[in-house]
Chain A
Amino acid sequence: MMKEKFARWHVLCLNYFKRDWKKILIWTLGLAAFSGGYIPPFVEISKGQGLIGLYETMRNPAMISMVGPTPITDPSNYTLGAMYSHMMLLFCGLFAMIISALHVTGHTRKEEELGLTEIVRSFQVGRQANSLAVLIETLGINLILALVTTLIMTVLKVESITVTGIVLFSLSLALAGMIGAVVALVMAQIMQTSTGATGSSMAIIGLLYILRGATDVSNQNLSMMNPMGWTYLTFPFTENNSLPIFIGIVFCVVLAIVAFALEGGRDMGAGYLPAIEGKANAKKSLLSVPGLFFRLNRGLIISWLVAFVVLGAAYGSIYGDMQVFLESNEIIKQMFTMTGVTIEESFTSVIMMVMIGMVGILPIAIVNKLYAEEERMHLSQLYATKITRSKLYWTTIVLSVISAIAGIVFAVIGLGGTAIVAMNGESTMTLATFMKAGFNYLPSTLFFVGLSAVVLGYVPKIGKAVYVYLGYSFALNYFGGMINLPEWFSKTAIQSWIPRMPASDFEVMPFVTITLISVAMILIGYTGYIRRDMQEGA
């Protein structure tokens, strides 16, 4: 019976390693480099009083809910290793979990949907051989990941990074990956479609992350009940607690058995949850071009706005410990300090530039969406109606600009609101100060709308290049404070033309000029969009 179910799984498994080797290479090397390779920069940051300063910052509840807790209670025990596992392990584990989950659904439920499974099953292959093969493959990949991480960290290791800790750190990553894999395998059986399986696995992972954020702050014992907790609560380099790893392994085995039992009991292509029945008629709000475009971008807009608020709140929470944080480290100090302004104001002007730079992603994504829809041929039937290209274009631009403004408002409220609470009335800065500083960067955001618009109108295929410029100008501004760059070089980033408020004063000229340039680019993009060939399935 067992033989029948899993016949030839090893043949499939071997093939999968062959098929996926490029992906495995990028996955393991990339994630391992990310997980283990940050030791040298951390050594830089921790010079002088850096560790103590960071310890204070990281004890902030907002930070704990984001990166997890540390078992250290005395700042002098906060070694580089303690900080490394504190700041890195949860995030790297989260990545490992997500990638593994995506891999598993991609090769189980997705292939079932595409009809590949049907072909494979017509050969002398067991009914559940594919799931077993994919699971074993994922286990193999995660073990390779652990091995490579161990190697990288061993090469880079410094005093407080012990071998025991390194092995535990790497195994925690592998465990995180396997938890993601088994969760995804169970959801692949329960849900009706692969998107449902992917979505629900991601939702579970997200929920576990948020839950542990809450319990880490309130009661750490509860985090030990959370599968995601078992990864970082091993506390490598400090407590070196291996118990969570064993709990995690048992959990994975149990969930895998559950998944195989569920799979054994269902037909191919079927799920356990009935597909939710949708509406037979469209709501009125959908039945217009703006309504349609809003619906298409709704998920994108909402998730980015939430991200902006959270990001703002994370930065805002630092304001309480600002003095300690800035004085702890030369590099950070150099980055944030300017003359003649308070540290809070100086910090605000830099962080605002960083945050509004990130807000730029949303309007670019919305403009690029119009081309994505064109290319996927979703609009083919609409081109043949009385809807003008003008309408499609301007609806997109208006939505993009509104989202940009909303993005600034949300980021500012997240940052300013939290900062004002964290500073406890010890500063003269008000929400209006933050709002002005945020909207000061509106032209730079509009500039990205304009740039995307020109690309959409003339060279839509390179829409992603706008992100590259955004990333470039972001990096230039972010690091420009640390290294002295020539004037002309830093001016290649659009934000550099705008004075940083509230540390500097508002200037009308750049504000108006960049806005006008942006409007001009939007108009230029329009002339291209209404004239060019639509590129369907190109």
Chain B
Amino acid sequence: MSEMIRIEGLKKNFGKFTALHDVTFTVKAGEVVGFIGPNGAGKSTTIRTLLGIIKGDGGSAKIFDLDVWKDSLEIHKRISYVPGDVALWGGFTGGEIIDLFMKLHGGGDQAKRDQLIKRFELDPKKKAKTYSKGNRQKVGLIAALSVEADLYILDEPTSGLDPLMEAVFQEEIAKIKKEGKAILLSSHILSEVERLADKVVIIRQGKIVETGTLEELRHLTRSSITLTTEGDVAVMENVKGVHDFSIKDGKAVFYADNESINEILLEATKLGVKKFESVPPTLEDLFMRHYEA
């Protein structure tokens, strides 16, 4: 698989403040990469650097194997972008702005535009100043999804959208993914990333702290286990790999290191297992673990 985005050791300072210390990750063709991190971690700064809106101070960033600053125009022909905060000209209607964005991007599909306007239930005849945050976001999304691109860069694309529209968005992303396009999806909404992303990149204070598929990341962490046994379940507390052990109504509840699952199960069977439930960690658990640590 060819690499659509390749960032290595990217740095960016704003005056004395260092926004990006060391950002390294890749996005391959046909991959949806979830880019997560709290406010101010450097998500939008990374994305703006990728778009050549701002210039990195060190390291390298490439899209389609081209330098994001020097060859930005060549790159821009084949990407589509939605900013995190879509700001629009109040005096134009949504329809006018979508047309303008599509035309200036080049290669838009009018039928797709009309269909997306319908799907997202946007009234294109209203002036943009009357739009809510969600409606402004729809304008940005429709314009970005109506043009041809090999790479989509979406910065918190669903902020302000209601759950119904979020579902529409996810369906559209799934379609693009099926066509083999790459997507860099920065988001706060972890369930969304969990559903769409093949790979997750977690950024914290300008540094990438975790990269990998959701499976890989899960493996690094612990599953939540609920266990009921015929014998005294209390002995399980001392088994290697068991953490935060507690007993409630005869049920043992604890976290287990994924690499110790086998030993834990062996011990448990000695007691006679009546009930065993294992819940894999959610992205939220992963995320929290990184930020609480």
Contact = CB atoms under 8 A, between A and B. Distances in A.
Interface of A: 192-193, 195, 275, 277-283, 286-289, 292, 295-296, 376-378, 380-388, 531, 533-534, 536-537
Given A385-B104, A386-B73, A278 B89 contact: no
A385 B99 contact: no
Contact of B86 (A195, A295, A381, A534): A381
B127 A278 contact: yes
14 contacts: A275-B126, A277-B126, A278-B125, A281-B95, A282-B96, A282-B99, A289-B104, A295-B92, A377-B83, A381-B83, A386-B77, A386-B104, A386-B106, A537-B85
A288 B83 contact: no
5 nearest A-B pairs in the assembled complex, by CB-CB distance: A278-B93, A384-B81, A282-B99, A533-B54, A282-B96
A195 B129 contact: yes
A533 B48 CA distance: 9
B90 A195 contact: yes
A383 B130 contact: no
A149 B105 CA distance: 57
* Interface SS of A by simple majority: loop
Contacts of A383: 51-53
Interface string B72-97: 01001101111101111110110111
B183 interface: no
A278 B129 CA distance: 12
* Interface SS of B by simple majority: mixed
A287 B51 contact: no
A537 B130 CA distance: 21
Given A286-B96, A381-B101, A533 B126 contact: no
Nearest to A291: B100
Contact of B89 (A281, A378, A380, A533): A378
Interface in B97-120: 97, 99-101, 103-106
Nearest to B103: A287
Interface string B236-273: 00000000000000000000000000000000000000
A299 to B, nearest CB: 8
Given A278-B95, A383-B52, A385-B105, A376 B125 contact: no
A388 B104 CA distance: 11
B96 A381 contact: no
Nearest to B98: A282
B251 to A, nearest CB: 45
Given A281-B99, A382-B101, A386-B77, 18 more contacts: A193-B129, A275-B126, A275-B127, A277-B126, A278-B96, A278-B126, A280-B93, A280-B95, A280-B124, A287-B100, A287-B104, A377-B87, A381-B101, A384-B153, A385-B76, A387-B76, A531-B55, A536-B48
Contact of A292 (B82, B85, B100): B100
B53 A380 contact: yes
Contacts of B89: 296, 378
Nearest to A298: B91
Given A278-B126, A279-B95, A381 B76 contact: no
